[in-house]
Structures are given as structure tokens and as C-alpha cells.
């Protein structure tokens, strides 16, 4: 496995700390609004990386955080808290906002076939996500360590990490602190008692700008809430133990968030946070980053309303290597949907053949497709090359009688699903068990029998099949059964 390491600025062979085990931490969402598809590209990348590691024989322990406090709109130490902003916008409490958008995020990643994290279990909330608000005590402990070492200081407004005390500060970007000072941001000096413009907040006090902040906890220094960067260091230390093998994020995390994460962990525990830092590039619209602030974003609901399959969006993301910027257009999504239909037609050829019982599948049938596809995905997740090999294989067998090769086809389909998460093998389930229900619902709608159509839709939803009606007809996707 070879990955581009932002820290060293080169592609390196992946060598885990613990034999065939790999620890993976992926930066999660700030749950104050719905995710747009630019956000979701990053989570498809995370999922592809995890799948590639697992296919390469590693036992992956994967933790993802949920940011439900402390993330300010500037990504630094200035501006409104994003959760507070969401609560004001919707007339709800910050806790209600966090819960609603956490559930929305979980549904989104389920629709895209993204595996949930497996390295932490929240028994109270019934899922595997590490919420920042559940790790307040661990964050306070790190602040105690940093203060005790003289690496942090307190003002009336906050407790700050002193970046001048750590010679390696900024190594992730390759910039020295003296270089950064030249372009110091004016918005970070709102606290006149801050020693250095790039010192960052570990703990905000419930005073001044944040005196009415809804989320606050007691601490040895006074009521307040943690800075955004601290949660990831605390969660990693508590769940995976540091250093870890791989830390991922979007490229916009490099300059501030991840630099600060690295600094506080290294200063507190005297070792690295992660050996490999892997970052995905932006999704663009008309040459600009897709973002809520620019208003140029689309959501999964927009994708469905236009009649596109969620898996077509996943496939579209896979058509570009994760380190390249990708310009989104509806025409490109249309082309990806056509390609997906080609793959599904190939899958249906296997299901239409008489085959041995499911229990007799030989795992050795994965060897041929593994030899075909794995080298490309192990080459810094070169998913475009993987897709090109899939296209070549399907084109090669087009029109051939594959009656005697159904398990070879099964092997290819299993491997494609294993690596790319396109759920091609689930085609047999929808074809053989739910197709009639979908057809019955279509007939009921044609007869304006909306009550019957709703009953059938709810029945399918209970089986984990969501039906969305569009101008192009009904489309289905897999969701958690209701």
C-alpha cells in the first residue's frame, strides 16, 4: 500500500505501527446543517481508504468524531460557534440541532454505502461515533498537562496554546512560524492579551463574546467550552492511543486544524499524533470550492430529486483520484449513472445464470480480480485506474456465454463491492425480492391509489429500501430499515 503523506510531501509505502493492524482516524462532520456533496466526497475517500486497507490484509480500527461544540465559523478563534448559529437559524436548542444533523449525516453515509466507524462504541447513543461533547473531561486533562509544562497560558477570555514554545509548529505545511507571521490573520487577534497571533484556544470562557454560549462545562479555570482543535487529540488519545497510523481530512484542514492538532498532542505526550496524514481535494463548481458560504452547493436530496442514484454519485467521486480537484456538473453525474447502469447490467447477467448454492462460493475466486484491481487501488488509491480495468473486463466478456463462469463473475463483483462499495451484489436482492413490491407501487400510483402506494412504500422502507419519486421515475436506494 502506497499513500501520499502530506507530512513528508511524497508517496510512501504504508508501514503500520502494529504488524497487520492499522489505526485510522477520519475527521467527521460539524453537525449544524446538512452535508453538501462536496463534504460527502471526503467521506467517500475515507471509506475507500479503509476498504483498500482491509482488502490489503490489514485489520483496521477506525474512529470518526462528531463535532458538536467549539467549531467557530472562521475555523480559528473568531466568530460565532457553528452549533449556536444553527440553533438561532432554526429556533431550536444546540442539542436538538446536533442530534438532528447527526442523524441526517448517518443517513447520508448509509445511502452512499459508506461503512460506519468500528473503533469506538457509544452505548448510550447506540452508534459508533465519538462526539466531542462526550470527551470534555479528556480535553480538560490535556489542557492541564499543557499548562503544567508551561506550553499554554490563560487570559480573561481563553486558555491558549503557545505556538512559540514548540519548534516543530507548522511542519505539516512546511512553513516556519516566522514565515506565517508575515501573513498573520487580522481576525485572530480579537483577544488583545493573546501572546502571538497564531496561538490557538484550548478553552473558551463563558465571558465577553461567549457569555451567552449555550454549551458550557465546569473546569478548574472556570465555566466554558473547548476549542475545536482539542477534541480530535483527546478522542484519538482516548480511543486509539497515539501515535496512530493514519489521520485523514480535507485539504482545508491542513493549514490550521491539523497543524494545531499535531502541536498540542506532540507537546502534551512527547510523540507524534500520526505517522501518515492523508488529505482529499475539494469538489468544485464552476472552478470554485463547493461551500455553504458561497451558496453553490447541492445535497443528496438534490441528487435524488433530479432522478439520480446515490451510487452514481459515489461512482462519480471514484472517477477522480482523491488528491485531484473535481469539477461537479449534472452532466458528469448523468455520465456516471450511465456507467453504473452498465455495471449493474453486468451484475444481473450473473444473477440470471444457474449457479451453485451460496454456501459453496470459493474465496479463491477473489484471487483473479484481486490480482487485476488491487495493485491500482494500492497505488495511492488510483480509483480511475481500477474503474478502467473494470470497464475493460466487462467489455471483454460482453456477449460471451458465461454460464460456466458464474463464480468467476461473482468473484469480480465481490471484489468491486469490497473495494469500491458500489453494492452491485445487492442487485440480486432488489431484483428477486422487492421488485414486485416496487412494480405494485408503480401500478397503484398510476391508478391514483395513493393510500396503497404509501403502504407499499412504507413496507419497502421497513425492509431497508427507500423509494424516491422523481420526474425521471422512481429510484431506490438502501437505507437503514425503519
DSSP letters along 232-258, please? HHHHHHHHT-SSEEEEEEEGGGIIIII
pLDDT of residue 184: 47
Which stretch of 290-294, 305-309, 374-378 has the lowest confidence by average pLDDT?
Answer: 290-294
CB atoms within 10 A of CB 128: 17
Give residue 462's pLDDT band: very low, low, confident or very high (50, 70, 90).
Answer: confident
Give the tens place of pLDDT for each residue, 137-181: 999 999 999 999 999 999 999 999 999 999 999 999 988 776 665
* Gap between the terminal Cα atoms of the chain: 38
Averaged pLDDT for residues 314-322 = 98
Percent of the chain scoring above 70 in pLDDT: 88
Q: Is the pLDDT of residue 364 over 80?
A: no
**DSSP for 294-338?**
TT----HHHHHHTT--HHHHHHHHHTS-TTS-EE--HHHHHHHHH
Ramachandran angles phi, psi of 204, nearest 5°:
-95, 135
CB atoms within 10 A of CB 334: 15
pLDDT of residue 424: 87
pLDDT of residue 98: 96
Task: Return the C-alpha cell found at 92.
Answer: 431550536
Query: What is the rounded CA–CA span in Å between residue 224 and residue 216?
Result: 5
Give the tens place of pLDDT for each residue, 407-455: 677 778 888 899 999 998 876 556 456 777 877 888 888 898 999 889 8
Residue 105: which residues within 8 A CB-CB, separation 6 or more?
Answer: 29, 31, 35, 66
Query: What is the rounded CA–CA span in Å between residue 334 and residue 135?
Result: 43
pLDDT of residue 187: 41
**DSSP for 430-478?**
IIIIIHHHHHHHHHHHHTT-HHHHHHHHHHHHHTTEEEEEETTEEEEEE
Choose from 65-79, 179-193, 198-212, 260-274 the range with maximum mean pLDDT.
260-274
Query: What is the rounded CA–CA span in Å between residue 197 and residue 440?
Result: 64
Residue 198 backbone class (left: φ over 0; alpha: ψ -120 to 50; beta: rest): alpha
pLDDT of residue 473: 66
pLDDT of residue 475: 66
H/E run at residue 2: strand 2-5
CB 430 within 8 A of CB 466: no
Q: Report the mean per-residue pLDDT for the chain.
A: 88
Query: What is the rounded CA–CA span in Å between residue 204 and residue 157?
Result: 6
Query: What is the rounded CA–CA span in Å between residue 395 and residue 389?
Result: 10
pLDDT of residue 182: 47
Averaged pLDDT for residues 2-7 = 98
The total number of residues written for the chain in this structure: 482
DSSP category for residue 194: -
Largest Cα–Cα distance of the chain, in whole Å? 77
pLDDT of residue 188: 44
Query: What is the rounded CA–CA span in Å between residue 426 and residue 414?
Result: 10
CATH number, span 2-280: 3.40.50.620
pLDDT of residue 179: 66
pLDDT of residue 344: 85
Burial label for 79, CB within 10 Å (0-12, 13-18, 19+), is middle
Domains of the chain by residue range: 2-280, 303-422, 429-478
pLDDT of residue 478: 63
SS3 content of the chain, % helix, strand, coil (to 5): 50, 15, 35
Give the tens place of pLDDT for each residue, 36-58: 999 999 999 999 999 999 999 99
H/E run at residue 158: strand 158-161
Query: What is the rounded CA–CA span in Å between residue 369 and residue 150?
Result: 56
pLDDT of residue 287: 81
Give residue 186's pLDDT band: very low, low, confident or very high (50, 70, 90).
Answer: very low
Averaged pLDDT for residues 213-221 = 95
pLDDT of residue 432: 54
Give the tens place of pLDDT for each residue, 340-359: 988 888 887 665 543 444 44
Query: What is the rounded CA–CA span in Å between residue 474 and residue 438?
Result: 9
User: Which ranges in 173-248 belong to alpha helices (H)?
Assistant: 177-182, 228-239
CB 300 within 8 A of CB 108: yes
pLDDT of residue 46: 98
Asked, as a colleague might, if the bond just before 388 is cis with ω within 30 of 0, I would say no
List Cα–Cα distances, 371 to 31, 378, 415, 430, in angstroms. Answer: 40, 11, 10, 30
Q: Is the pLDDT of residue 185 over 50?
A: no
Stated pTM of the model = 0.86
Averaged pLDDT for residues 316-321 = 98
Percent of the chain scoring above 90 in pLDDT: 65
Distance from the Cα of residue 261 to its chain's centroid? 18
CATH number, span 303-422: 1.10.730.10
Q: Is 167 helix (H, G, I), strand (E, B) or coil?
A: coil
pLDDT of residue 464: 75
Amino acid at each position: 500500500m502506497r499513500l501520499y503523506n502530506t507530512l513528508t510531501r511524497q508517496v510512501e509505502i504504508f508501514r503500520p505501527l502494529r504488524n497487520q493492524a492499522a489505526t485510522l482516524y477520519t475527521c467527521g462532520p460539524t453537525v449544524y446543517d446538512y452535508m453538501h456533496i462536496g463534504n460527502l466526497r471526503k467521506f467517500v475517500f475515507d471509506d475507500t481508504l479503509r476498504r483498500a486497507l482491509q482488502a490489503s490484509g490489514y485489520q483496521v480500527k477506525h474512529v470518526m468524531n462528531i463535532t458538536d461544540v467549539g467549531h467557530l465559523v472562521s475555523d480559528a478563534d473568531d466568530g460565532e460557534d457553528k452549533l449556536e448559529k444553527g440553533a438561532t437559524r432554526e429556533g431550536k436548542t444546540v442539542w436538538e440541532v446536533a442530534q438532528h444533523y447527526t442523524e441526517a449525516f448517518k443517513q447520508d453515509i448509509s445511502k452512499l454505502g459508506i461503512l460506519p466507524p468500528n473503533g469506538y462504541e457509544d452505548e448510550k447513543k447506540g452508534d459508533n461515533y465519538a462526539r466531542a461533547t462526550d470527551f470534555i473531561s479528556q480535553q480538560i486533562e490535556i489542557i492541564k498537562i499543557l499548562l503544567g509544562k508551561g506550553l499554554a497560558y490563560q487570559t480573561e477570555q481563553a486558555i491558549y496554546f503557545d505556538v512559540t514554545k514548540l519548534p516543530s509548529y507548522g511542519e505539516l505545511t512546511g512553513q516556519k512560524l516566522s514565515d506565517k507571521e508575515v501573513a498573520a490573520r487580522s481576525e485572530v487577534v480579537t483577544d488583545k492579551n493573546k501572546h502571538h497571533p497564531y496561538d490557538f484556544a484550548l478553552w473558551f470562557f463563558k465571558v465577553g463574546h461567549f457569555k451567552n454560549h449555550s454549551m458550557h462545562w465546569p473546569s478548574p479555570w472556570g465555566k466554558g467550552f473547548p476549542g475545536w482543535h482539542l477534541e480530535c487529540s483527546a478522542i484519538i488519545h482516548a480511543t486509539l492511543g497515539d501515535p496512530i497510523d493514519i489521520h485523514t481530512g480535507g485539504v482545508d484542514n491542513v493549514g490550521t486544524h491539523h497543524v494545531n492538532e499535531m502541536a498540542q498532542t506532540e507537546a502534551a505526550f512527547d510523540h507524534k499524533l500520526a505517522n501518515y496524514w492523508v488529505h482529499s481535494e475539494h469538489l468544485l463548481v464552476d472552478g470554485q470550492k463547493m461551500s455553504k458560504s458561497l451558496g453553490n452547493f447541492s445535497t443528496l436530496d438534490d441528487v435524488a430529486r433530479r432522478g439520480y442514484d446515490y451510487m452514481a454519485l459515489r461512482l462519480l467521486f471514484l472517477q477522480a483520484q482523491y488528491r485531484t480537484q473535481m469539477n461537479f456538473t449534472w452532466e458528469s453525474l448523468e455520465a456516471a449513472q450511465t456507467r453504473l447502469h452498465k455495471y449493474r447490467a453486468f451484475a444481473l447477467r450473473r444473477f440470471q445464470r444457474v449457479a451453485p448454492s451460496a454456501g459453496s462460493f470459493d474465496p479463491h475466486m477473489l484471487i483473479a480480480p484481486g490480482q487485476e484491481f488491487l495493485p491500482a487501488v494500492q497505488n495511492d488509491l488510483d480509483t480511475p485506474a481500477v474503474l478502467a480495468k473494470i470497464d475493460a473486463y466487462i467489455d471483454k466478456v460482453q456477449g460471451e456465454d458465461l454460464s460456466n463462469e458464474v463464480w468467476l463473475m461473482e468473484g469480480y463483483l465481490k471484489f468491486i463491492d469490497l473495494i469500491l462499495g458500489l453494492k452491485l451484489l445487492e442487485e440480486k436482492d432488489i431484483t428477486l425480492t422487492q421488485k414486485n413490491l416496487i412494480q405494485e407501487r408503480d401500478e397503484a400510483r398510476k391508478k391514483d391509489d395513493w393510500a396503497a402506494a404509501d403502504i407499499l412504500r412504507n413496507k419497502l422502507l421497513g425492509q431497508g429500501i427507500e423509494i424516491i419519486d422523481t420526474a425521471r421515475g422512481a429510484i431506490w436506494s438502501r437505507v437503514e430499515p425503519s
